[in-house]
A and B are shown apart, each in its own frame.
Chain A
Amino acid sequence: MKKLKIIFSCVFIYLGSCLISYSQPRSEIKLSFDHFYNHAELTQALQALAKAYPEFMTLKSIGKSYMGKEIWGVILNNSKTGPAEHKPGYYIDGNIHGNEIQGTEVALYAIWWLLSNYGRNELATRLLDERVFYLVPTVNPDSRDVYINQVSDPDSPRSGLKPYDDDRDGLADEDGPEDLDGDGSITMMRKKVPLGTGTHRLHPDDPRILIRIKPGEKGDYLLLGEEGIDNDGDGLINEDGPGGYDLNRNFGFNWQPEYVQRGAGDYPFCFPETAALRDFILAHPNIAGAQSFHNYGGMILRGPGARNMGEYLPADRQVYDYVGKNGEKILPGYRYIVVYKDMYTVYGGTIDFIYNVLGAFTFSNELDQDPLEAQRTRQPREEESPDIRAMLGQIGRLEEMEYHDLVLLGEHFSPWKAYRHPLFGEIEIGGVKKFGRRVPPTFRLAETCHRNAAFCFYHADQLPRLEIARTEIKKISGHLYQLDLSVANSRVTPSISAVAIQNKLHRPDEVRLEGKKVKIVAAGYLVDEFRQLTRPIKVRQNRLLIENGVPGFGRVNLRLLIEAEGQADLIYDSLKGGLKRKTLSFD
């Protein structure tokens, strides 16, 4: 009896361990997602993953940043199920804005999750077998490291670190901010002045908050801007800090010069980081879907970034809407909106480039909502404004201070303290520290990573999934056959986007017959099977071009007249939808 009990408990333990091993990924590599990775740590993590999963992961440098750091490109593909260029590609980048760091963790999480769940999770297995992933976890390693390792503030450095003459005085980066109080963050400077000579006053309930005076009120404080001194003696403080351009305005589609679009750079792709992305993206024309992570505000954005070149084509908008609306379910609180219409104008952005040059459906998620906005119920009428306001950064709110005190436990707010400034004399320095806004607190980072990666997986799964659904061979006479052929697409994304069809961005899909004795005599779209109507397709040396590809959730039906003997391979070759092959027999 006792023995039985032991056996029983052994079985129980065994079962239990099975359950445990099947309820958690059997990860070869332990990574934590309550931590922001600096570039060295990211490099280490990626190298460890590449070493642990050599059959899936390729890690390579796609270029060097301005300061000479490697920009890592990751390719995930199961080569046993076919070469990468024969599968639909999904692209992810993050952290193009140096201070918007958490996109990198999301990309890293996506890599880690797919690799460690292959073979045990159905979706991970399917995605790695059927799709290929291209990821650039950080586009801007220079500013990432400044943000994480050095002094910074929540909003900078957004730019890259190539010296840039922000104030157009002929000198570049000659007057940036300084961490005068040595707390590791660039915060604010304020000065108490005689009543009636100030522009601000203290909040009656919390003296850490400054309020701008209304007309008629008297102020006794001046807000002096960010911490710093006048380095170049021109009478201005912090007017030309590190960098000063915007990599996400430097892409070559609908690019506009600096005076139309601030931060654009001298010309498209003039920075090493954007040039590296351009080369990586263009080298993989099978990319059919993409994501470029930013922060913040809780948005699933699509282009166009600007009004001037018109809305996206209606057929493509339907695809965007389908994926975007479902994305809102994966990302509670996030809203699927359009850049130019619901946010602001962006010329020369990444997502317009990928959509209009590669013809790939591209989103940009603004990761994480303002924690206080997230708690409020949304006003249905002014749907956009709260987030925009939050994004632009409202300072001086009581709730924010409560959040800093009670939830963040004071970790990310620097209390005002006295400082003697070379120009202003006695001042106070304090305010929200660099991790205090825009990035999630580390206890929420894992959720940000998982939900946004899940959205990418959903989108990647919604790329064209083609299948040679029907091949019906009918003998006409001798070696002449009629082949009725259907290629079906079980996903929402068409094998060629409308923008690509309209502007001939890439080659159409192609039907080929390969074999020793096979020749396509004539071919057509089977328009009406019952009335036997076909619309002719030009035959080009045993190839047919399928100009419009296979629509989303649809199929393309063809009828071919063939001279054949023995066996022949039927190939449906789509740049974005992958390559499908089926062997046919003619007797």
Chain B
Amino acid sequence: MRRIRKIIVVLILTFLNVLFLKPGYFLGAQAETKSRIFEPRSFEEIISFCQSLASQNAKLARIIEIGQSYGGRKIIILELAAKENTSAPMPEERPAVLVSANLEGLHFLGTEAACRLARKLIEEYGKDKIITDILNRRTIYIAPILNPDAYTRWFGRFRSERMTNSRPVDEDNDGLIDEDGPEDLNGDGYITLMRVKDPEGNYLADPREPRLLRLADPKKGEKGIYKIYSEGLDNDGDGEINEDPPGGVDINRNFPHDFEYFVKTCGLFPGSESETMALLQFMAEHKNIALILNFSSENTFLNLQQTGQARAGAERVRVPRMYASMLGLDPDQEYTLKEIVEAIKSSGFIGGMEISEEMVASFLGLGPAVTLDRQDLPVFEAIQKEYKERLNKASLDYPEKRAKPVQKGSFVAYGYYQFGVPSFSTDLWTVPEPKKPGEKEVLTPEKLKAMSPNEFVSLGEEKIAAFLKAQGAPAGLSATSLIEMVKSGKLTPARMAEMLEKMPARSIPSDEEHPEAYLLTWSDTALQGKGFVNWTIFKHPSLGEVEIGGFVPGLRLLPPIDLAEKAIDFHVDWYLELMSRVAEIQIQEIKANKLSEGVYEINVFLTNPAWLPTSTAQGRRAMTSWPIRVKLNLNKDQELFSGEPVAIIPFINGSGEVKKVTWTVKAKKGSQISVEASSPKLGKVSRSIILP
């Protein structure tokens, strides 16, 4: 009897479970298989998920098809906005947020997060106050897959990390197109590497981790053994392997900010691809977009580094006199940046530090046209700080040093520098740093920055000494003296961190850990070794005996389900939080001050109660963020005495900053004066007053 009851309970539970399974809620359903790796849904599944979301919630959502990929796959955007029970204008006239995902094609977590975000907005509408408010007053555009060709390729015969669309490109410029792609020779479903013993080989097995290969260092007396190829055949008999694979152009390098010309995977020119053009056109037609939240391999919350580029016109420059003499250059002569880099290197001032043309351009004040504007920086930094705090609080393990900065020609950079709105991107997850047994918590310059002097002193001499050694500090600088300096207030930990960051980078000794060792550790510990294909012998038709092996494609992209779940939930909430911070304008008050009979001074107080400013400084520079137009509407008996008929307010900072507009008018007592404030990214507000 008890057994029967038990069976019934299980049956009911199963039934309930099935009942509550909503479309796309598969991640939660699979939570019990904890160690399984996150499996992306197919392109078709994502599209039909979005379509059913829209068709089942027609009052909140609709699908906009913005274009097609080179391969003819549709690119969709979900438009979410409450259209009933709200006084807000049509969706395209409300301040909007664009959530863009997977321009890189293989950022599956981003696609999943975008879908979850859409579903949460819809499901919580009418229940959650913030979400209800967002959809009542804003429009949210969600693009789950912006590079469908690469996305779909992943589900093909074998897996590789190729992120391009399907456009045929003659990579090796031999007149034949896409004629030599990879083959899954060992039939394991992955394109990995082939290593082959070759007299000209310059790779050898890493002494600590023989599964990994490293370049031989002739200065250490090392001689290479292997040549490395990617897995495949020489299909066109030109002696090269996989030199012209199918596809294409990397969509996230094809945008017009700091585009790299003459690089085939970036495209022939910015916007050369239909995927890029579809998104650019959508944005040009939706100038109400006031915030961009992107999912890609870039993490701009943790890494504020920009692409860097010598400013237009800085082909040849003069070097200021004081530096010129140091570098042995003529201050009256013009040099190319390359020449200056050479001069700096040969001067020996910077030791072994790597130095680039961008650094020189930035140093000489030629200004990369590509740094976050100084006025916008506090906003970005505040968000960065908060993001880190939230990561910590959620105890998400994200190794900051692996956060990728924006890339040249990337969408998120276009969003900030040209479209002119705050733009952020997150990769959601990256392979965590292995915890080494017995290792104490290590001090880093990053941690140092956030420390108070007391915290620093309390670390103790031993830890600080270890830190100094690791940073390659000069022998004269002891932990004792440093502690004294901090105690006496001569030096703060933050200042110290700054100094350390400016020090030349140390060269990495060859007995140091292989840069990819952490991936192997990850595969071995968290994935039961499934992240690495062990080297096995294969008889290759043109290379002879080779070994096939290496990291599994997607290792860095696909976490175990429980970690994926956690990272997505965290970032969905984070993006919801940022969405609620989009700027808005309010006419806080109109004051009419009677100067004489029939003459009034009108003061209008405008405010932005939201957190973000009404525009970015870069948007104002780029003229893609509009100022606020404040218009005084007078009837025919009223007359303007002083002030502009339309006053222009460039911007209002967030958190309630107030800006005032003053007019003097001739008008009758008891008559009404109305004021209207508007801007394409902020909408329109109006208010009126009866003259006392």
Contacts and interface: CB of A to CB of B under 8 A. Distances in A.
Given A168-B623, A266-B284, A545 B175 contact: yes
A543 B629 CA distance: 66
B540 to A, nearest CB: 20
Which label, helix, strand, loop or mixed, suits the secondary structure of the A interface? loop
B55 interface: no
A257 interface: yes
Contacts of B369: 260
B315 interface: yes
A538 interface: yes
Interface residues of A, number: 41
A270 B679 contact: no
B488 to A, nearest CB: 49
Interface string B27-51: 0000000000000000000000000
A378 interface: no
B679 A252 contact: no
B645 interface: yes
A235 interface: yes
A510 B312 CA distance: 38
A258 B623 contact: yes
A267 B629 CA distance: 26
A269 B271 contact: yes
Interface string B252-274: 00001101011010001111100
B621 interface: yes
Contact of A259 (B237, B261, B622, B644): B622
A353 B261 CA distance: 11
B174 interface: yes
A69 B445 CA distance: 63
Contacts of A72: none
**Most chain-A Cβ atoms within 10 A of its Cβ — which of B262, B284, B417?**
B262
A270 B271 CA distance: 9
Contacts of A345: 313
A507 B259 CA distance: 23
Contacts of B315: 307-308, 310
B576 interface: no
Contact of A540 (B236, B271, B417, B622): B236
A170 B312 contact: no
A353 B623 CA distance: 25
A507 B175 contact: yes
Contacts of A269: 271, 277
A357 B268 contact: yes
Interface string A454-467: 00000000000000
A243 B173 CA distance: 41
A235 B173 contact: no
B239 A168 contact: no
B174 A308 contact: no
A541 B174 CA distance: 12
A168 B627 contact: yes
A528 interface: no
**Most chain-A Cβ atoms within 10 A of its Cβ — which of B312, B417, B629?**
B312
A161 interface: no
A256 B312 contact: yes
**Most chain-A Cβ atoms within 10 A of its Cβ — which of B175, B236, B313, B621?**
B175
Contact of A508 (B173, B270, B272, B629): B173
A252 B173 contact: no
A266 B255 CA distance: 12
Contacts of A266: 280, 283-284
A252 B281 CA distance: 15
Contact of B269 (A307, A353, A540): A353
Interface in B664-692: 678-680
Contacts of B312: 256, 260, 306-308, 347
A308 B175 CA distance: 31
Interface string B276-316: 01001101100000000000000000000000001111110
B2 to A, nearest CB: 70
A314 interface: no
Given A308-B314, A503-B262, A541 B622 contact: no
B469 to A, nearest CB: 45
Given A252-B271, A260-B369, A356 B261 contact: yes
Contacts of A259: 621-623
A451 to B, nearest CB: 33
Contacts of A357: 268-269
A246 to B, nearest CB: 15
A33 interface: no
Contacts of B184: none
B675 to A, nearest CB: 15
Interface string A499-510: 000011011101
Contacts of A169: 626, 629, 646
Contact of B256 (A267, A353, A504): A267
Contacts of B623: 168, 258-259
B679 A233 contact: no
A267 B284 contact: yes
Which label, helix, strand, loop or mixed, suits the secondary structure of the B interface? loop
B509 to A, nearest CB: 38
Given A234-B646, A260-B369, A268-B270, A508 B175 contact: yes
B597 interface: no
A538 B312 CA distance: 41
A267 B417 CA distance: 12
B170 A507 contact: yes
A253 interface: yes
A270 B281 contact: yes
Nearest to B631: A234
Interface in B313-368: 313-315
Contacts of A320: none
Contacts of A252: 256, 268-272
A133 interface: no
Interface in A232-277: 233-235, 252-260, 266-270
B258 to A, nearest CB: 11
B646 A268 contact: no
B271 A507 contact: no
**Most chain-B Cβ atoms within 10 A of its Cβ — which of A169, A233, A254, A258?**
A169
A179 B189 CA distance: 72
B174 A540 contact: yes
A389 to B, nearest CB: 23
B625 to A, nearest CB: 9
Given A258-B622, A260-B312, A170 B678 contact: yes
B430 to A, nearest CB: 31
Contacts of A308: 310-315
A170 B680 contact: yes
Contacts of A545: 174-175
Contacts of B313: 306-308, 345
B238 A540 contact: yes
A220 B426 CA distance: 64
A310 to B, nearest CB: 6
Nearest to A507: B175
B646 A235 contact: yes
B638 interface: no
B418 interface: yes
Contact of A255 (B256, B264, B646): B256
A538 B261 CA distance: 28
A234 B284 contact: no
A381 B262 CA distance: 38
Contacts of B644: 235
A235 B283 CA distance: 31
A540 B680 CA distance: 59
Interface string B220-259: 0000000000000000111100000000000000001101
Instruction: Give me the 3 closest cross-chain CB pairs, A-B, nearest first.
Output: A252-B269, A507-B175, A308-B312
Given A258-B622, A308-B311, 8 more contacts: A168-B627, A256-B312, A268-B270, A306-B313, A308-B314, A357-B269, A540-B238, A545-B175
16 contacts: A168-B627, A170-B679, A233-B645, A235-B645, A252-B272, A255-B259, A255-B269, A257-B418, A260-B312, A260-B369, A267-B277, A508-B173, A508-B175, A538-B239, A540-B236, A540-B237
